[in-house]
Structures are given as C-alpha cells and as structure tokens.
Amino acid sequence: MTNNKAVLSWLEEMKALTTPDNVVWIDGTQEQIDKLRAEAVAEGELFKLNQEKLPGCYLHRTAENDVARVEDRTFICTTKKEDAGPTNNWEAPDVMYAKLRKLFDGCMKGRTMYVIPYMMGSYGSPFSKIGIELTDSRYVVLNMLIMTRVGTKVLEELGDSDDFVKCLHAKKDIDAENRYICHFPEDNTIWTINSGYGGNVLLGKKCFALRIASHMGHKEGWMAEHMLILGLENPEGEVKYIAAAFPSACGKTNLAMLIPPEMLKGYKVWTVGDDIAWLRIGKDGRLWAVNPEAGFFGVAPGTSTKTNPNALKTTMKDTIFTNVLLNTADNTVWWEGLDGEPPKEGIDWKGNPWTPESGVKGAHPNSRFTAPAKQCPCISSEFEAPEGVPISAIVFGGRRAKTAPLVYEAFDWQHGVFVGATMASETTAAAAGAVGVVRRDPMAMIPFCGYNMADYFAHWLEMGKKIPNPPKIFHVNWFRLDENGKFMWPGFGDNLRVLNWILDRCEGKADAKETAIGYLPEAKDINIEGLDISAETLEKLLSVDKSVWKEEVEGQKEFFAKFGDRLPKEIKDEIEKLSARLA
C-alpha cells in the first residue's frame, strides 16, 4: 500500500521480531471491514447482535483479568529518569526494549499481523498526526477503524515522511504478570503486550493522543489534554466553546452531550469531543482546540435516556460493545443503569448465564461502547474543522464530596494553572485499583502525561504567557454531598446552569465575589428556576469551608513535594498565596 521506506523498513524489523504468518494492510474500505467482522464472528472474537435493532453492532468480551487500563504496568521510557518524572513508571529505553523484545519474540507465529495506518485529527488539518499500529487483534483493528481515521488516505498524507508514531501491539497470552504498556517518546514509539483491553491497546487514544502527544506538544509549543470540547449555543444562536478536564468516569461524555433542562430550552450543546483535546494558539491570539479522535470509547453502565440520550442514540449502529450483558431474548445489550427493567436473563460480561437474581453485575462497571462520533445527534458542525474551535473557557473538575464548591473562577491564568494542578478526585472503576480513594490528578493527566509533570506545569505557565487572549479558567464540582451523603446538585442537564455563569463571566456579563480560593458566584447568579433546590442548599454548594481548605492545602503541599526543585516557582507562589488568603 505504500513505498514509504521508513514505514517498510520498520515493518520488516517488526515482522522479523514477531514472525507473523500473514500481514494484512488495513485500507479502510467497507469491504474489508465486512470481511474482518465476519472473520471475527467466525472465530468467536465478536458476537453479532440483533442486526434489525442494532445494525452493524457487535459484542466483545475481554479476558476477566483484562478489563481496564493498568497504570502500574504503564511506562514512560526516557533516557533520563527525571524526564519521566515522579508520577510515571520509568525504565531506560534500552533496558525496556530488551525486556520487551524477549516477550515479542515470535509471538505472532500462527497469527496475522494487521497494519493500521491511522490519523489523529481530520484529513487536511495542519494539526493532525499520523500513527501506524501493528497488531494481531482484529478487535483492535475494528475499534481503531471507529476511533481514528484509517486507511489508504492516511498513507497518501504521510507520503515519504518518517514522521509517524510507531505502534506495536500483541495480545500474546493476555498474561497480566507480563503486561506492558510502554512509551518511548524520544523515538515516537509505543509497544504494548499481553492486553486486549481498549485503553491499553487502541494505541491512538491514551498512548498516542495523550502520552506521546503531550511530549510532542511540550517540544513543539502546543498542548495535548484529557479534555472534552463542547459548543454551547445560546438562544440568540451564538456558539461559545468550552474545554473541560475531569478524571476518568466523572461524566465527561455526559457533559459533552448535555441536553438542556426544560427551563433552558433555547440553549443547545454541540459535541466536538468527549475525551481528548489538542490545543494550539490560533492566528487570532486565542486558544484553539481540535478533537483528534473519530469515535467515542464511552463507559456503558449508567448511560441511559435520562443521563445521556445522545450517547445512547450514537450507539444504535456500527458500534462495538465490550463487556456488557447480552440480552439473550433478542440479542441486544444491557448494562446496569440502562432504562427500564433488566432483562429476565442473559449472558454476563464473563460469559456466564445471568439473571437479575444472580447477585453479580451483568455488565462490567468499566464496560464500553466504541461508536463513530459522526452518529452523535449533537455532533458539532465544527467536529472536523481543520483549525478546530476557539476556546472561551477551560474548566477543571473532580469528584469531591466536601472541599470544592459547585463552581469557582481562577484569578488569572497562573492561578488557573494552579487550580488545575491541584485537581483531585475520588477514584472509579475506569482504572484498575481501589475505588473511592481520593487521588490527586492534576488536569486529569496523572495517568496520561508523557513527561515530568513539573515540566508540564511549566509548559502550561509558558503557554499562558504566549496566548495574547487566553481563555478564563474555572473549577466545577458536580459531586458535593450533604450531611446524609446525598448529592446536593442535580447534575446532568442542569450543569448547563453553571456553564451559563461561566460563559457570562467570560463575557463580563456576570457578577462574582472574591474569596480565598477564587471568584465565586453569589447564589443569585446561578439560575435555579424550575429546580427543586432550596436557596439554602445553593448557598451550601457555593460555600468555602476554610478549615477543610486548610487541610486541602496540606494535601497539595505533600503532593507537590514529589517534584522537588523541578516544581515551577509560580506553583509554589500560588500555594503560599492561597495559604495566606485562608489564614
């Protein structure tokens, strides 16, 4: 499919290492997709769902030990350990290559190697980047065909350039003990082995578009962020764009596809992206964002007509479901939190017969749908705009029971970077490990920053100096609990009420009061018309408890201490200033 010498010689090297029986180039044609689907069904890799109700939809089950990203097996391999920083696992490239070569040695014998040329970003965009993934998994191929732009056209755009990310994946034995997700940012290379779970093996997503791309952005003067991008259209038809970072499973996909509440029917939310944003300074001096992905890899449980009808509609065709329940009555899918009664019987994510009385979950809490973004009913007309969309506000958020108020605004860019750097959240099922523990997760990038996070903060600060017209920075918390452990804010569509205040602030149209942590709305500034919330609850949602915040500062200091002298002075200054304001 190509005469590109860099591609061909790398491919020869990888073939010699892994010794596949066959090599198949993925051209992106429907004909080839149909063939791969049929083969995957024949081999039991995919289950064909009810094609009348769910045309083009399939179900896949991963191994039971392989259901989430594995951060303890994820490595950033840079020559110098300090360049990976204290928040990443590190190994020297030569040591890691040697270790992995042993694992990859001959591992595709008897298997087919698929060559997937893919593009992150839209065709013809100056911001797009190319990768080539070699994999022995048809599931990976079929997912990559949804999540990225794949095929002959990508190779045409690459021409004879050697500027592509070299990605190698093998399922091998799905051996958790020998699972590795390794990044070599200095040679634009990703090698991953012994997993078949999306986040570890769809290498365009977290591995390239965040870890490798953040490293590229640092070198080249742009940013790769774990952010959704949405356009909010007001009743006058003006659209303003917001980029928002939340840790995994804090409702990013739901926010990106928000449906306005009845009271605010004149508003409309348009989705540009639900997970990743690449941000650059535009010719007009503003910050512009593109979504490098072509699909959504969303968490299924909890997705319903109430929480996210747009996501649900997006998954009605050409979607791959992973680890959800198979409803055997009509070969459709189900997960906990979907509308209506659970099916009377089915096959659970482990492949076992299931009934509502089984006492186990039908779908894994981190079960997923992989769906083409273009099918989303609220996809933005700017989804593929080559230059992206101009960002008015950056929003950080987390899942905090007590500390953070519903919303606040940073004093300026530097303080905003500090607000992002001090983000924290209670953990969920998206990553392996304990659930419900508070974890510091600056800019929601802890698992995804491909270099030293102290340098990452410095890069944010540097970018701020270079953006003549920077977006304002905010922090939100939809998850504050009352004394009885109940959520105080309704969330979902009603989050629009908070986004409206945010955009009004950006346009100088809303008031705020200055507090120790930033600018907060007065209760009267948030429109709660039609909401079942008392003024008192809203006051509480907007309150800042200084004693809780003093404890918070201690936690922040402890976290930042990890970075030693590499931590930018501006961050140290901000923590001092916050302490002084709280005193």
Q: Would you name the residues annotated as active-site residues?
A: 250
Question: Do the beta carbons of residue 4 and residue 94 sit within 8 Å?
Answer: no
CB of 214 to ligand OXD, least distance (A): 14
Distances (CA, A) of 468 to 15, 210, 410, 462: 49, 25, 18, 12
Task: Report the alpha-carbon distance of residue 552 to residue 549 in Å, rounded.
Answer: 5
Give CA angle at 569 (564, 574), nearest 5°: 110
Contact with ligand OXD (CB under 6 A): which of 258, 259, 300, 430? Answer: 430
Nearer to ligand OXD, 349 or 413 (CB): 349
Nearer to ligand OXD, 297 or 563 (CB): 297
CB of 244 to Mn ion, least distance (A): 12
Nearer to Mn ion, 271 or 414 (CB): 271
- Residue 531 corresponds to which tokens in the numbers above? 């909401």
Buried b (16+ CB within 10 A) or exposed e, 88-112: bebbebeebbeebeebbeebbeebb
Own/partner pairs for 352-358, CB < 8 Å, 24+ apart? Answer: 354/325
CB of 501 to ligand OXD, least distance (A): 27
Which does residue 214 touch among Mn ion, ligand OXD, none (CB within 5 to 8 A, set by kind)?
Answer: none
Nearer to Mn ion, 261 or 447 (CB): 447
Nearer to ligand OXD, 75 or 297 (CB): 297
- Residue 536 corresponds to which tokens in the numbers above? 């008192």
Which does residue 83 touch among Mn ion, ligand OXD, none (CB within 5 to 8 A, set by kind)?
Answer: none
Nearer to ligand OXD, 248 or 323 (CB): 248
Site for Mn ion in 266-305 (CB under 5 A): 275
**Which residues on neighbouring strands pair with residue 278, listed in sequence order?**
224, 290
> Going by C-beta distance under 8 Å and a sequence separation of 6 or more, which residues neighbour residue 235?
266, 267
The dihedrals phi and psi of 174, each to the nearest 5 degrees, come to: 50, 45
The dihedrals phi and psi of 506, each to the nearest 5 degrees, come to: -65, -30
Site for ligand OXD in 289-328 (CB under 6 A): 297
Binders of ligand OXD: how many residues, by CB under 6 A? 6
HEC letters along 104-120: HCCCCCCCEEEEEEEEE
Which does residue 370 touch among ligand OXD, Mn ion, none (CB within 5 to 8 A, set by kind)?
Answer: none
Length of the chain: 583
Q: Does 367 bind ligand OXD (CB under 6 A)?
A: no
Question: Do the beta carbons of residue 502 and residue 406 sit within 8 Å?
Answer: no
Nearer to Mn ion, 478 or 560 (CB): 478
Tally of CB atoms within 10 A around 38: 12
Binders of Mn ion: how many residues, by CB under 5 A? 1
Buried b (16+ CB within 10 A) or exposed e, 436-465: eeebbbbbbbbbbbbbbbbbbbbbbbebbe
Tell me which residue of 275, 279, 274, 118 sits closest to 204, measured CA to CA. 118
Which does residue 430 touch among ligand OXD, Mn ion, none (CB within 5 to 8 A, set by kind)?
Answer: ligand OXD
CB of 78 to ligand OXD, least distance (A): 23
Q: Does 441 bind Mn ion (CB under 5 A)?
A: no
Nearer to ligand OXD, 18 or 370 (CB): 370
CB of 48 to ligand OXD, least distance (A): 25
Task: Report the alpha-carbon distance of residue 328 to residue 346 in Å, rounded.
Answer: 5
CB of 478 to Mn ion, least distance (A): 17
CB of 527 to Mn ion, least distance (A): 30
Q: Does 248 bind ligand OXD (CB under 6 A)?
A: yes
Which does residue 49 touch among ligand OXD, Mn ion, none (CB within 5 to 8 A, set by kind)?
Answer: none
Tell me which residue of 8, 290, 374 sits closest to 155, measured CA to CA. 8
Site for ligand OXD in 256-285 (CB under 6 A): 275
Contact with ligand OXD (CB under 6 A): which of 199, 217, 292, 343? Answer: 199
Which does residue 117 touch among Mn ion, ligand OXD, none (CB within 5 to 8 A, set by kind)?
Answer: none
CB of 171 to Mn ion, least distance (A): 23
- Residue 262 corresponds to which tokens in the numbers above? 């009845």
Binding mask 48-87 for ligand OXD (x = CB under 6 A): ---------------------x------------------
Residues that bind Mn ion (CB under 5 A): 275
Residues that bind ligand OXD (CB under 6 A): 69, 199, 248, 275, 297, 430
